[in-house]
Amino acid sequence: MRARRKVLGWGVDGDAKKRPGVPRELRPEVRGGAHWEAPEQQARPGVQVLKRASLEELTPVFGTTAPPRGLSGLLRRVAYGIPEYRVKHVLLLLLADRVDVLESLVRRHPTKAAGLVLGLVGGGLLLRRSRA
């Protein structure tokens, strides 16, 4: 019996009166203390910030460190034009992330990227010839 008490999480399904409440067991309540009704809006940035199609305005806080650019930016712009509940939206954003990785590789190491592309193309040609 004593060994069980050392097990993390032992007794979590015990009597609710004997254990502290967790947030989902407490009733939600309005907490005061904020000095504003609505948060201040950040200043409009000099770069394009993408937002969900369902939002009319930007959220109070947003990032501008990685503005959309290149092919990955184009894919993100298309994705944000599609509602979030569509699978196309998520898949395009995933594809844009992968394309962004390739674009950054090309920007940082152009010779390595060219070698990688040539290797992939050459490997594809070899595979086609070996199947024929």
- Only one residue has tokens 């509940």, namely 85
Secondary structure letter of residue 36 according to DSSP: -
Question: What local confidence, expressed as pLDDT, does residue 92 receive?
Answer: 95
Range of the domain at 80: 67-132
pLDDT in tens, 30-60: 777 878 777 788 888 888 888 887 788 888 8
Determine the Cα–Cα distance for residues 4 and 17; give it in Å rounded to an integer: 20
The reply to whether 122 falls in a domain is yes
Question: What is the rounded distance in angstroms from the CA atom of residue 111 to the CA atom of residue 3?
Answer: 61
Does 75 map to a domain? Answer: yes
Question: Can you tell me the distance from the alpha carbon of 7 to that of 1, in angstroms, rounded to the nearest whole number?
Answer: 11
What is the Cα 79 distance to its own chain's centre?
13
| Count of structural domains within the chain | 1
Token pair for residue 101?
A: 């990785």
- The yes-or-no verdict on residue 24 having pLDDT over 80 is no
pLDDT digit string, tens, across residues 92-111: 999 999 999 889 888 898 88
**Confidence band, pLDDT 50/70/90 cuts, at residue 4:** low
Residue 93 lies in a domain: yes
Is residue 29 assigned to a domain?
A: no
Q: What is the mean pLDDT of residues 6-16?
A: 69
Residue (of 53, 117, 112) closest to 85 by Cα position: 53
The pLDDT of residue 100 is 92
**Within-domain flag for 34:** no
pLDDT bin (cut points 50, 70, 90) of residue 19 is low
Question: Is residue 27 in some structural domain?
Answer: no
Is 81 inside a domain boundary? yes
Is residue 99 domain-resident?
yes
